[in-house]
Structure 1
Amino acid sequence: MKKRLFATGLTGFVGRHIQSRLSNPDSKWDLLPAASTYDLSDPSSLESLWPELPDAVIHLAGQTFIPEAFRNPARTFQVNLQGTLNLLQALKSRGFSGTFIYVSSGDVYGQVSENALPIDEHQPPSPRNPYAVSKLSTEFLCLQWGMTEKWPVMVARSFNHIGTGQKESFVIASAARQITRIKQALQAPILEVGDIDVTRDFLDVSDVVAAYLALLEKGSPGQIYNVCSGKEHSIRELIEQLADLAQIEMKLYQDPTLLRPTEQRRVCGNYTKLQQATGWTPEVTTKQSLQAILADWDTRVLQE
């Protein structure tokens, strides 16, 4: 018999991929639909959300865009921290006692010296923007809730995701969209970019989803797990790969408005703890991911 899973944020980037994965007849999980529309910042909208009690919850929903967190930190905390508290209280009042995975961010580590790379879970967090502070605060809330309520609670610190369906406000999606427009002669062969000589740890969204499902099955309560590729790529390198795959030539223009304060120059995560607990390893290569992203934008650009 399949177990029941409820996930917040199903209309988002990762949420849509979870829906797709769990629509497979071989899935061990049935995805519970919300009984009504809801807003995590409105506790009253959560009161009758679960006609059936879920066996597990993956909490994906949140304000994830760092520039928006700088523009409106209060709203970011309202959604990420207060919204999670509202969710936990609603689940408690319904009698939930199952597995709860809070999806956090590798951004909570903040400034990390190069000799501390790759980053593992022993690295002390040092958040450097309001978004990361909100995520770290919510980690503590969820872990405390697990201890107090005796729920199996885990935190997934996910590093950068890439994949099909991502919003163009994220760097690789933005580059892929622009490259597709150049290829389709809808844009001059000039790519607007921010600081592309930083490195990041990019993981395909399908591997991210697989990691969350692996944690549901085999993760240890009260633990924090990095979800990452274990590799670092410069953004410039990935943009050049996209251009090569699309077979176009272009020039790069650095837009000052796309530069972020308190930028970490290099990021690379360590997923050993996750692998040892669950057996999970990344399966999608960077090239496979970039090819899929370009194919996705071929369709999306035509629909714009």
Structure 2
Amino acid sequence: MSSFHANQPIRTLVTGASGFTGRYLVDNLLGRGHTVIETVAGRNELETPTRLRLDITSPDACRRVIETARPDYIVHLAAISFVGHNDPLDFYRVNVIGTLNLLEACAAVGHTPRKLLIASSANVYGNVTSDAIDETFPVTPVNHYAASKAAMETMVRTWFDRLPIVIVRPFNYTGRGQASNFLVPKIVEHFARREPAIELGNIDVARDFSDVRYVANAYEALLDSGVASETVNVCTGTPYTLREILSAASDLTGHELEIQVNPAFVRQTDVKMLAGSPAKLRSLVPKVDAIPFMDTLRWMLAA
């Protein structure tokens, strides 16, 4: 960095900043001395120098935000991510067109940030049974959420020659503050409240669960690195079954839960084993250490 800019704080624009992942990443960036400009979706939200209203589906709104913020870095986390969302078109309006609007806004106002980090999802791999899915696996989405992310990635790749972009594909991750309709928070809450029983689907499916703090650290490190024009898995490579998680939570709390398998929660398309290979992530940002899942569980139970 030239001495001319030495006393200018780094400006980082984060869309979806108030979401589960955004809150942890924003804390990290503020801790590193970044000026973080958060975007908020609501029409009635008050704007401040570090909070800007943004309807990502509006090209004009995207241009205004990029022109106003002129950020050094952009982290694009805003998306419709609830797979059961009722209007399929919204996935494409927000996840594909919204992302395109952001890239086109940079071009329209003549602003090239140092790096754009765009969040996709490991859901793009679809129903692949493997304990080491790497970035060369084919993309075979099986729902609108995953299909919208896959389409978004395809579109973003056409911008690799114009903007310094990294696409991240996080696998499952969890932590304090995640909504209780997700599996691990649901399990943690049942143990914390010492409930007598829990209703779950297939408890023998295995997933690669990361800690949200590790995910935020990985995003921050990739922003800071020289990496561009790459697609990177964010995962640990260590799968756990729900049965193992239940057993560990029981050991940690000394509480026994009766497990009731609800057939309504058992999906025929459930992938038995889904774990990613973090080899590429580790080669690109070797200093980012995964957080062992048992530590994550302990941290969540202590909340």
Q: Shorter-chain TM-score category?
A: 0.7 to 0.9
1:82 paired with 2:89, answer no
CA–CA distance in structure 1, aligned partners of residues 56 and 223 of structure 2: 23
1:254 paired with 2:261, answer yes
- Among candidates 215, 236, 239, match of residue 222 of structure 2: 215
Deviation at 1:76, TM superposition (A): 1.6
CA–CA distance in structure 2, aligned partners of residues 215 and 172 of structure 1: 27
1:160 paired with 2:167, answer no
| 1:39-79 per-position Cα deviation (integer Å, ceiling 9, x unaligned) | 212334334224231111111111112233xx432222222
Deviation at 1:92, TM superposition (A): 2.6
- Among candidates 135, 138, 141, match of residue 121 of structure 1: 135
1:30 paired with 2:44, answer no
CA–CA distance in structure 2, aligned partners of residues 154 and 11 of structure 1: 21
1:45 paired with 2:61, answer yes
CA–CA distance in structure 1, aligned partners of residues 201 and 55 of structure 2: 33
| 1:61-103 per-position Cα deviation (integer Å, ceiling 9, x unaligned) | 11112233xx432222222112212222223323221211111
Q: Secondary structure at the match of 2:65?
A: coil
CA–CA distance in structure 2, aligned partners of residues 48 and 109 of structure 1: 35
Which residue of structure 1 aligns with residue 106 of structure 2? 91
| 1:271-301 per-position Cα deviation (integer Å, ceiling 9, x unaligned) | 11111122144342212111111122xxxxx
Cα distance change on mapping 1:178 and 1:42 into 2, 3 Å: farther
- Among candidates 191, 196, 200, match of residue 179 of structure 1: 191
1:239 paired with 2:246, answer yes
CA–CA distance in structure 2, aligned partners of residues 192 and 87 of structure 1: 41
Give 1:183-202 correspondences, 5 Å limit: 187=195, 189-202=196-209
Which residue of structure 2 aligns with residue 263 of structure 1? 270
CA–CA distance in structure 2, aligned partners of residues 223 and 17 of structure 1: 23
- Among candidates 110, 126, 142, match of residue 126 of structure 2: 110
CA–CA distance in structure 2, aligned partners of residues 238 and 161 of structure 1: 14
Question: Gaps (5+ residues) in structure 2?
Answer: 1-5, 40-50
1:18 paired with 2:59, answer no
Question: Gaps (5+ residues) in structure 1?
Answer: 297-304
Which residue of structure 1 aligns with residue 157 of structure 2? 143
Deviation at 1:249, TM superposition (A): 1.0
CA–CA distance in structure 1, aligned partners of residues 133 and 33 of structure 2: 32
The aligned length equals 283
Deviation at 1:28, TM superposition (A): 5.3
Cα distance change on mapping 1:95 and 1:7 into 2, 3 Å: same
1:100 paired with 2:116, answer yes
Q: Secondary structure at the match of 1:36?
A: strand
Greater share of helix residues, 1 or 2?
Answer: 1
Which residue of structure 1 aligns with residue 88 of structure 2? 73
Greater share of strand residues, 1 or 2?
Answer: 2
TM-score of the superposition, structure 1-length normalised? 0.87
Give 1:283-298 correspondences, 5 Å limit: 283-296=290-303
Q: What is the alpha-carbon root mean square deviation over aligned residues?
A: 1.8
